[in-house]
């Protein structure tokens, strides 16, 4: 909880600087790059987040690995995080920054998981329904998750709308067990 609170403070400051310099979209792109480097290279992530790696080593890591791919603003932000020993906040960096940017811009994001790829028509209908529900412009990220069997699971903000077949079958099983049918 403290890490998320700290992260929000740091990211609000980063957002305000990016906004003042008209770099909000570039900073978002840079944070996507940082998140991508962490996702693609688990060893890099472990080294960067390991408490026994010194600040100087992490500073060198930022300058050598991240700096060539990001703006000076994001580089300096990462160096500040290292100097203050707040590396743990980097796990949710991109998601929280996007949430702040979306809040200010009146936009929203949704993750839609489905068992099969969504048709363009279904994608558009879900987008429209979410925009009507939130009164915001919604950007949708889709993921195919065969385990849900059918239907969709939508995560928007801190809400989850679970319309999956898997969830319905799980609930039906629970109800049958409750009434003694197994």
Report pTM: 0.61
Mean pLDDT of the chain: 86
Rg (CA), the chain: 20
pLDDT at 182: 57
| DSSP code for 150 | S
Burial category of 67 from C-beta neighbours within 10 Å (exposed 0-12, middle 13-18, buried 19 and up): middle
- Say whether domain 107-178 belongs to CATH 1.10.10: no
Residue 134: its pLDDT value, please? 85
Q: Locate the domains of the chain by residue range.
A: 2-101, 107-178
pLDDT score of 2 more than 50: no
CATH 3.40.309.10 given to domain 2-101: no
Distance CA 162, CA 151 (A): 8
CB atoms within 10 A of CB 138: 19
pLDDT in tens, 99-110: 777 766 678 888
DSSP state of 181: -
pLDDT digits (tens, 9 = 90+) for 120-153: 999 999 999 999 998 888 989 899 999 999 999 9
In the prediction, which pLDDT does 164 show? 93
pLDDT of 98 strictly over 80: no
Residue 1 pLDDT grade (very low, low, confident, very high; cuts 50, 70, 90):
very low
Say what the pLDDT of residue 35 is. Answer: 83
Q: Greater confidence, 25 or 8? A: 25
Per-residue pLDDT tens over the stretch 57-77: 999 988 998 888 899 999 999
Whole-number Å distance between alpha carbons of 40 and 101: 25
């Amino acid at each position: 909880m403290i890490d998320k609170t700290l992260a929000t403070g740091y990211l609000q400051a980063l957002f305000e600087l990016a906004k003042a310099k008209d770099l909000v979209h570039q900073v978002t792109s840079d944070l996507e790059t940082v998140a991508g480097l962490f996702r693609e290279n688990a060893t890099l992530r472990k080294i960067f987040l390991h408490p026994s790696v010194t600040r100087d080593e992490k500073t060198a890591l930022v300058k050598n690995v991240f700096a060539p791919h990001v703006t000076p603003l994001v580089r300096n932000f990462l160096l500040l995080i290292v100097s203050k020993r707040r590396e743990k906040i980097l796990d949710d960096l991109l998601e929280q920054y996007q949430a702040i940017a979306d809040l200010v811009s009146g936009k929203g994001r949704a993750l839609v998981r489905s068992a099969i790829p969504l048709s363009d028509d279904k994608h558009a209908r879900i987008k429209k329904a979410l925009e009507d529900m939130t009164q915001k412009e919604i950007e949708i990220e889709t993921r195919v998750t065969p385990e849900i069997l059918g239907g969709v699971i939508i995560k928007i903000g801190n809400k989850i709308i679970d319309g999956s077949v898997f969830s319905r079958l799980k609930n039906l099983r629970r109800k049958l067990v409750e009434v003694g049918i197994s």
